[in-house]
Homo-oligomer: A and B are copies of this chain.
Amino acid sequence: MYYHDKRLQYPVRVENPDSLFARQLQQAIGGIEGEIRVCLQYFFQAWGARGPDNKYRDVLMNTATEEISHIEMLATAVALNLEDAPATLQESTAQANPVIGAVMGGERPRHVVEGMLQRHILSTGMAAFPANCDGVPFDCSHVYASGNLVGDMFANVAAEATGRTLAVRLYNATRDPGMQDMLSFLIARDTMHQQQWLAVIEDLGGLKESLPVPNSFDQSKEAQRFSYMFMGTERNGTPVTPGRYSQGPSIDGKGEYRFEAFEPLGDEPVLGPARPDSGAQKEQMAEAPVTNALA
């Protein structure tokens, strides 16, 4: 069960509201690198956690709950950045600020409106919504919860790595001290979350034990000739530039990397003809050889 406290997890203040930065912050709310994604991802991993004990369920639950607080901070930041945004012609004419001026056709530079997410004006009443910085709604297919604990941990590290990259880009895009302070907190949390999901893999025995994912499949059933081969697809057989990925022992300690310029092992596939009454053209059916109009 869940509870709330009216206060924010960390202070959110905006000194110079900026409607473009409000748009950019949306990526951290409803983007695929954003907080709704990790929040729901950790929750669904927790709620579906299977195992001999509930240990990793608890770890996931704490961080999932933390992420709700981050969405709240960012949604608050979006609303504050939209406080002075140009919304209507009516108010613009009455506005005192000569620097910003009227909204459309008036004194306030028109491009400020043009650069906004139009739904911040038309659909939300100057508030955040669960979409990204270009206005695409968040889609829950991005909630990765595979039922394989290590696979999920890698998905979580990936989410936090792209999430911290986004937070850094947002930090670099603003000069507002309040916004930079808020982002310095979120960046720190993304640091920890990268660390902690990797630590869960350690807790499970480390990379060697955990790989390949899933480690419960009997590797003798896989076509092991291909399990540690870097497959070259360059037309003329040129090898890939050598690196850790093409030589030396594999990360899981169970093989040795090698390069091979690959040639097809299969045949050209042949499907059966279309069946009668299947909605194909009659020329696709067995009895009707295709006439080559040139012949």
Contact = CB atoms under 8 A, between A and B. Distances in A.
A58 interface: yes
Q: Which 4 A-B pairs have the closest CB atoms?
A: A125-B147, A114-B115, A48-B127, A8-B266
Contacts of A96: none
A134 B111 contact: no
B123 A27 contact: yes
Taking residues whose C-beta sits less than 8 angstroms from the other chain, chain A's interface range is: 35 or more
Nearest to A61: B4
A205 interface: yes
B266 A73 contact: yes
A38 interface: no
Given A188-B226, A204-B291, A240-B59, A286 B235 contact: no
Contact of A158 (B105, B157, B270): B157
Contacts of A170: 122
A272 interface: yes
A52 B290 CA distance: 7
Contact of A5 (B1, B36, B53, B154): B1
Interface in A215-237: 215-217, 219, 221-236
26 contacts: A2-B65, A4-B233, A8-B269, A9-B262, A9-B266, A47-B269, A50-B284, A52-B273, A76-B271, A87-B277, A90-B277, A123-B166, A130-B143, A134-B134, A135-B135, A142-B142, A160-B213, A164-B212, A187-B221, A191-B222, A202-B251, A203-B244, A204-B290, A204-B293, A216-B281, A243-B293
